[in-house]
């Protein structure tokens, strides 16, 4: 949904998308220990499977985007996770485009990294409430999708005046998903905090 197909964006945008993704990927991969590969892969597979689950919410069929969730659980490694998930999505289901994998990874991955930072630093505040994970999970999850949609809309709008209306259309269509993703990430963060706290990334 948030990933954009081929042939729409200005070439300059998706070309620089590849360059930036290559740089962030190189950096995050260098931060990744080789022992993390099997673990990260299994979790990437889980992100992939969970994002396939469509369900009815109100009048529309939605599915999870999970970039905020990836950030909260995987930290920096959310970026390679999202990259791998997008490539496999493109290969297996032809969701999103080929030339746009770079920029799509930015649209989802950069907000994921921001959600991670928000969660990490947010958890350090003493707010006097019990489950801060729920609060910052909700914020991280919502903000990650909102930013992804914002990035996409800006890219569409800068591509040409013809896309102005499309950008607004895309942005409005995603408002319920932002809410859903925020609730989802809040619930799961709270759940993980009690069941498997080491899955939440506080490093």
Residues engaged in binding other proteins (CB under 8 A): 5-8, 11, 25, 29, 32, 34-35, 37-46, 48-50, 52-53, 55-59, 64, 73, 80, 83-85, 87-88, 90-95, 97-99, 162-166, 169, 180, 183-184, 187-188, 191-192, 195-196, 199
85 vs 145, which CB is nearer to other proteins?
A: 85
User: In angstroms, what is the minimal distance from the CB of 114 to other proteins?
Assistant: 21
At 148, list the tokens.
Answer: 């992804």
d(CA 196, CA 1): 30
53 vs 129, which CB is nearer to other proteins?
A: 53
* Residues 6 or more apart whose Cβ sits within 8 Å of residue 170: 149, 152, 153, 156
19 vs 98, which CB is nearer to other proteins?
A: 98
d(CA 71, CA 43): 12
25 vs 115, which CB is nearer to other proteins?
A: 25
* Residues 6 or more apart whose Cβ sits within 8 Å of residue 1: 63, 65, 174, 177
26 vs 129, which CB is nearer to other proteins?
A: 26
User: In angstroms, what is the minimal distance from the CB of 128 to other proteins?
Assistant: 25
Residue 116: strand, helix, or coil: helix
User: In angstroms, what is the minimal distance from the CB of 126 to other proteins?
Assistant: 26
114 vs 166, which CB is nearer to other proteins?
A: 166
User: In angstroms, what is the minimal distance from the CB of 163 to other proteins?
Assistant: 8
Is residue 180 within 8 A of residue 151, CB to CB? The reply is no
User: In angstroms, what is the minimal distance from the CB of 70 to other proteins?
Assistant: 10
User: In angstroms, what is the minimal distance from the CB of 142 to other proteins?
Assistant: 14
């Amino acid at each position: 949904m948030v990933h954009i197909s081929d042939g729409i964006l200005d070439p300059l945008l998706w070309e620089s998308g590849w360059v930036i993704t290559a740089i962030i990927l190189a950096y995050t991969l260098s931060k990744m220990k080789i022992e993390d590969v099997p673990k990260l892969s299994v979790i990437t597979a889980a992100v992939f499977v969970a994002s396939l689950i469509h369900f009815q919410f109100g009048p529309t069929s939605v599915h999870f985007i999970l970039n905020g969730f990836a950030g909260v659980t995987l930290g920096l490694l959310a970026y390679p996770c999202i990259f791998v998930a997008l490539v496999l999505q493109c290969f297996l289901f032809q969701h999103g485009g080929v030339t746009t994998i770079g920029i799509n990874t930015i649209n989802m991955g950069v907000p994921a990294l921001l959600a991670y930072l928000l969660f990490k630093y947010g958890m350090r505040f003493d707010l006097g409430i019990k489950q801060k994970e729920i609060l910052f999970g909700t914020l991280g999850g919502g903000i990650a999708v909102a930013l992804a949609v914002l990035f996409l809309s800006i890219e569409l709008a800068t591509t040409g005046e013809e896309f102005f209306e499309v950008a607004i259309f895309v942005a409005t269509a995603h408002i319920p998903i932002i809410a859903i993703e925020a609730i989802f990430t809040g619930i799961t963060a709270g759940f993980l905090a009690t069941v498997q706290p080491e899955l939440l990334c506080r490093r």
